[in-house]
Chain A
Amino acid sequence: MANDALTPRPPLPDGRGGEPRVEMLGISKRFGPVLANDNVDLTLWPGEIHAVLGENGAGKTTLMNVLSGMYQPDDGQILLDGQPAVIKTPIDALEQGIGTVYQHFTLVPNLSVIENVVLGTKTGFRLDLGNAERQLQTMLADFALNTTPQTEVRHLSIGQRQRIEIIKVLFRGTRVLLLDEPTSVLTPVEVEGLFAILRRLREQGVAVVIITHKLDEALDLSDRITVLRQGRKVGVLDPETLAASDRETSRLRIVELMFGGRPSSEGSDVASGSAAPGETLLTLSAISADGDRGAPAVKNLSLDLHRGEVFGIAGVDGNGQKELGEVIAGQRRSTSGSLAIDGRTLTNQGVSAISRAGIGYVTDDRLGEGSVPGQSVAENAVLKTIGLAPFSRKFWLNRKAIERHAEALIEQFDVRTPSASTQLTLLSGGNIQKLLLARELAMKPKVLVCNKPTYGLDIRTAQFVLKTLREQANDGNAVLLISSELDELLDVSDRLGVMYNGELVAIFERGEFDVETIGQLMLTGRRATGVAA
């Protein structure tokens, strides 16, 4: 288990260093039957980027929550600069220089950048805005943020907001920065930007912890990698080890540590089915729809989905993919055009009619609209089918049937949860995602629309999900897969469309996929030759 407690301290990169900034010793945290952290040690050095890896539910977020004061450990100790530290709340943690950037942001959209950053600082009610503003201005420039302190946060992109989150904690003198899956919401360009910032913080001696499911990111960025499995620390790759072995070896080593000796589902075939596409299941004719702010988001888009195919939608986030999914699901009104399922026109008929006609929709906003806080895993599992037998008869709920159904889904999709009656929002991110997908598949949709279904999933689970989507198509259904991960789209799609600025600018058949061209189309909406498809 913990094998490095006695090993001598490794030298630091660039000879920086001295004492460890944080030592978490023998941390344990239990939630009911689940031992989320089991005697975990974690040492953070100044000027080091430390990646924490592990499968969904391994206990990564819990460990960070212990360090950031969100949870009290049942056992174990935390040393800060060698001194025992008491961290009772996140505010305690902040005051002691430990800042966290959560995956779902905590900024207030209607306040300006400066108000958000200064909100809750020690200065309290009498804000010294002048001074703060000067300081903030430099930081914004440092972070390549092209906004003024007075800009309201709601006008900023996700990537910009995340940087403001980082600025917000740094503004409070953070020397230990914790980031929980910071990249899953970012575009590749934004990821590069974030990494540049993290590297600079490392230069400045900040200890950075990053949780991610993308091994390449971890290997690109971090100096040290800790792997958790089922709550235990199963290994640490220190800087020397990482430097000494090539990327592929490190990769294999990490995967081995993450999943142990359990059988791999990797290598299983997610590639396209070879059968010729069947009859049309979903027809979109010249559909248009507005986005949340009223501007057109989907423009005159036509598309046929056939039995047996996975249709991938590529595109940089915010080019209308989400709105397209919502229109198909009946959640967003189309302003023109028509939608037909299996030959029946159902334009703007609303979610329940459309879902009865056989459309499923896995939202990418799993906490914002996918799950109901305060309700159990079981209740969430039947959110969309509560009115149907066996979950209810006439008006009466059948709690037994609900519970049993949830238990079956938990089993089938390996959802890690203490029980079916645990609140869904308490599960780890990846496990919430698994349940949402399971909920949709249980309804046996003819057409399944998935928006970023693998986001936040560990590589093995992501693979499992893609395989499930493939099977869904092979069983004679259709899948519309919206994703910002080009790799998975290339793997699994039979056809691949690129969305740019609300339009489907190109459709590729499998076999004609050309990464270069697709990338061009995603960024500019046209092919290199300058002619739009």
Chain B
Amino acid sequence: MTERARLSGMSLTPLVSSLVAILMAFVIGGIFLEATGKDALEAYRILIDRGLLSNTGLTETLKKMAPLLIASSGLLVALRAGVWNIGIDGQFMVGALFSAVTGAALVGDVPDPVMWIAAFAAGFIGGVAWALIPALLRVRFGLNEIITTLMMNYVALNVTAWLVKGPAKDPKIVAPQTRQIPLEHRLPKIPGSDVHIGLLVGLVCIILVAILFRSTVPGFMLDVIGRNRRAAVHAGIPVATLMVVALLVSGGFAGMAGANDVFGVQGLFKGNWNPGYGFTAFALVYLARLNSLLIVPFAFFFSFLLVGGDSMARRADVPTYFIELLEGLMLLCFAVAVYLERRWSQRTARAASSDPATTSLAVAGESE
């Protein structure tokens, strides 16, 4: 850990900003609840109780970590290179549809592990395909991926909805959905638990990405691009190619997150199914300050928020979007905390831009 922290120029102190931001978000969210006549403490108690302390809650939380981990590891690749992939949701949906169709075609005909691998591969391809359009627009016309990936989310919602009504639909059923994968063909449980192996897939993804950035040439180059794009050009690093690759890879991972949910949770793809992991992944990768291994605890935390938040919404009569509000507040507080951190830090102005998280925040502000 210390080795890695040293090599990437990070220490644990920046985590303080993340933790303070989370705390502040809870305080502000609590004030919001009280102001609207709800009992904030009671709501938070239910959140923790249902998301963490109950057996089913914990299981759900661990299950939900899987897509977050998978999508976040891809997103990290993009963000570390300064590529803003806002299109995780769209890539997730297309990947999910691809994998559901693949699964429906293969189920029963091939051994399950083969089908799962094929389905994850199909999910990856689906996500890549969806990221390809913004990538091409960037290469061809220099269009900023922030806008295009965002737009592609809406397109994905409609295109997948249309596909499950037509070509991809299970002909035996009236509802617009793909053929259901029977329970016995879904992803198996981790022995001794009720959590399917998607969680392990997610952890493997994180480890792969950690290795990518720690020990490989492409990872090194992506980091250089993200920290100082002009230096990357100066050094002869293939900036355009690598940025496109980073975008595609992050799309592919988002697609695999879709495959995970199809084979771990849903069993099929329905029209208009959009769990909206994109924003959560974004928030958690930032709070983890673009550090691969730190994503794991933050994914756990956000997963807990999503799961507990569901129960909280039902039981404490809190709006369902309250968790989204909390996430938004966290990012907002995080931005403020990072700003204060830079102001108060004893580092010089030149050193202040050294943190990858703040650097890419700055990169995002740069007009292209």
- Chain B associates with chain A: yes
CA distance A430 to B91 in the complex (A): 48
CB within 8 A of B343: which of A71, A89, A368, A387?
A: A89
Q: Which of A10-68 contact B (CB under 8 A)?
A: 65
Bound together, the chains give a CA A373 to CA B8 distance in angstroms of: 10
- Distance in Å from the Cβ of A373 to the closest Cβ of chain B? 4
Give the residue of B216, B231, B349, B359 whose beta carbon is less than 8 angstroms from that of A369. Answer: B231
Q: Is the CB of B236 within 8 A of A367?
A: no
Once A374-B9, A375-B9, A383-B224 are accepted as A-B contacts, the answer to whether A425 and B354 lie under 8 Å apart by CB is yes
Instruction: Tell me the bound Cα distance from A376 to B224 in angstroms.
Output: 12
Q: How far apart are the CA atoms of A72 and B220 in the complex, in Å?
A: 33
Q: Check B354 against A392 for contact (C-beta < 8 Å).
A: no
Let me know if A423 and B233 touch, CB within 8 A: no
Pick from A225-233, A348-356, A495-503 the stretch touching chain B. Answer: A348-356
Which parts of B318-368 form the interface with A (CB within 8 Å)? 343-344, 346, 348-351, 353-356, 359
- B235 is contacted by which of A65, A374, A384 (Cβ under 8 Å)? A384
**CB–CB A384/B346 < 8 A:** no
With CB as the reference atom, state the residue of chain B lying closest to A432: B350
Q: A351-B235, A383-B231 are in contact. Are A374 and B217 (CB under 8 A)?
A: no
Query: What string of 1s and 0s marks CB contacts (under 8 Å) between A300-330 and chain B?
Result: 0000000000000000000000000000011
Query: If the complex has contacts A355-B236, A384-B235, A395-B216, are A373 and B348 also in contact, measured as CB distance less than 8 A?
Result: no
> Residue B8 contacts which of A374, A387, A426 (CB distance < 8 angstroms)?
A374
- Return chain A residues, CB-CB under 8 Å to B350: 104, 367, 373, 425-426
CA distance A397 to B8 in the complex (A): 14
Could you tell me if A423 and B354 are in contact, using CB atoms closer than 8 angstroms?
yes
| A-B contacts, CB under 8 A, total | 106
Q: Any chain A CB within 8 A of the CB of B218?
A: yes
- In the docked arrangement, what's the CA distance between A373 and B346, Å? 16
Checking B6, B227, B236, B353 against A384 with a beta-carbon cut-off of 8 angstroms, the contacting residue is: B236
CB-defined contacts of B353 to chain A, threshold 8 Å: 373-374, 425
**Is B215's CB within 8 Å of the partner chain A?**
yes
A79 CB contacts on chain B under 8 angstroms: none
- Whether B231 and A372, one on each chain, are in contact in the complex, defined by CB atoms closer than 8 angstroms, is yes
- The answer for the CA separation of A369 and B237 in the assembled complex, in Å, is 13
Interface centre among B8, B350, B351, B354 (most CB of A within 10 A): B350
Do A392 and B217 form a contact, CB below 8 Å, given A70-B348, A367-B350, A383-B224?
A: yes
Q: A residues 392-432 with Cβ under 8 Å of B?
A: 392, 395-397, 399, 421, 423, 425-426
Residues A89 and B351 in contact in the complex (CB < 8 Å), given A373-B228, A386-B217: no
From known contacts A373-B350, A395-B217, A397-B220, infer whether A363 and B234 are also in contact, taking CB-CB under 8 Å: yes
CB distance from A93 to the nearest CB of B (A): 13
Cβ–Cβ contact B234 & A375, under 8 A:
no
Contact B216 A397 (CB under 8 A): yes
- Is the C-beta of A331 less than 8 angstroms from some C-beta in chain B? yes
Is A379 interfacial (CB 8 A cutoff)?
yes
List, in ascending order, chain A residues with CB within 8 A of B182's CB.
none
Contact A426 B351 (CB under 8 A): yes
Q: What is the minimal beta-carbon distance from B220 to any residue of chain A, in angstroms?
A: 6
Give which listed residue, A72, A368, A374, contacts B346 with CB less than 8 A.
Answer: A72
Cβ of B230 under 8 Å from chain A: yes
Q: Does B7 contact A (CB under 8 A)?
A: yes
Contact across chains for B346 and A71 when beta carbons are under 8 A apart: yes
Within 8 Å CB of A72, what residues of B? 346
Q: With A102-B349, A386-B217 in contact, do A369 and B230 touch (Cβ < 8 Å)? A: yes
- Interface residue count on the A side (C-beta < 8 Å): 44
A396 touching B354, Cβ below 8 Å: no
Residue of A nearest to B216 (CB): A395
Contact at B359–A374, with CB atoms within 8 Å?
A: yes
A369–B346 CB distance below 8 A: no
Given the known interface contacts A72-B346, A423-B351, the answer about A374 and B356 at a Cβ–Cβ threshold of 8 Å is yes
Kindly state the separation between the CA atoms of A72 and B9 in the bound complex, as whole angstroms: 21
Q: How far is the CB of B79 from chain A (nearest CB, A)?
A: 14
**B310 interface residue, CB < 8 Å from A?**
no
Asked whether any CB of chain A lies closer than 8 Å to the CB of B113, the reply is no
Interface centre among B7, B344, B355 (most CB of A within 10 A): B7
Say which residue of A71, A329, A369, A426 sits within 8 Å of B228 (CB atoms).
Answer: A369
Within the complex, what minimum Cβ distance (angstroms) separates A102 from chain B?
A: 7
Residues of chain B within 8 A of A354, CB atoms compared: 236
**Cβ contacts under 8 Å, A396 to chain B:** 215-217
Q: In the assembly, what is the distance between CA of A421 and CA of B8, in Å?
A: 10
**1/0 per residue B253-285: CB within 8 Å of A?**
000000000000000000000000000000000
Answer whether residue B297 sits at the interface, using C-beta atoms and an 8 A cutoff.
no
* Chain B: CB-nearest residue to A384: B235
Query: A72 CA to B354 CA in the complex, in Å?
Result: 20
Residues A375 and B233 in contact, CB atoms below 8 Å apart:
no
Minimal Cβ-Cβ distance residue in A for B233: A331
Closest Cβ of chain B to A396, distance in Å, is 6
Give the complex CA separation of A329 and B230 in angstroms: 14
C-beta contact mask, B222-254 vs A, less than 8 Å → 1, else 0? 011001101101111110000000000000000
B221 within 8 A of A: yes
Query: In the complex, which residues 189-235 of chain B have their Cβ closer than 8 Å to any Cβ of chain A?
Result: 215-218, 220-221, 223-224, 227-228, 230-231, 233-235
The reply to whether B217 and A370 contact each other, CB–CB distance below 8 Å, is no
Contacts of A426 in B (CB 8 A): 348, 350-351
> Distance in Å from the Cβ of B194 to the closest Cβ of chain A?
38
Please tell me if A204 contacts chain B, counting CB pairs below 8 Å: no
In the complex, A421→B215 CA distance in Å? 16
Which residues of B lie under 8 Å from residue A392 when comparing CB positions? Answer: 216-217
Q: Which residue of A lies closest to B215 (CB)?
A: A397
A–B complex contacts, Cβ < 8 Å, 7 sampled: A352-B238, A363-B234, A371-B228, A372-B224, A375-B223, A397-B215, A399-B215
Which chain A residues have a beta carbon within 8 Å of chain B's beta carbons?
A: 65, 70-72, 89, 91, 102, 104, 106, 329-331, 350-352, 354-355, 361, 363, 365, 367-376, 379, 383-384, 386-387, 392, 395-397, 399, 421, 423, 425-426
> What would 12 more interface pairs be, CB under 8 Å, given A383-B224, A384-B236?
A350-B236, A354-B236, A368-B230, A369-B231, A372-B231, A374-B9, A374-B353, A374-B354, A386-B220, A399-B215, A421-B7, A425-B353
A-contacting residues of B (Cβ < 8 Å)? 6-9, 215-218, 220-221, 223-224, 227-228, 230-231, 233-238, 343-344, 346, 348-351, 353-356, 359
The 9 closest A-B pairs by CB, nearest first: A351-B236, A352-B236, A374-B354, A369-B230, A374-B9, A373-B354, A369-B234, A383-B235, A384-B235
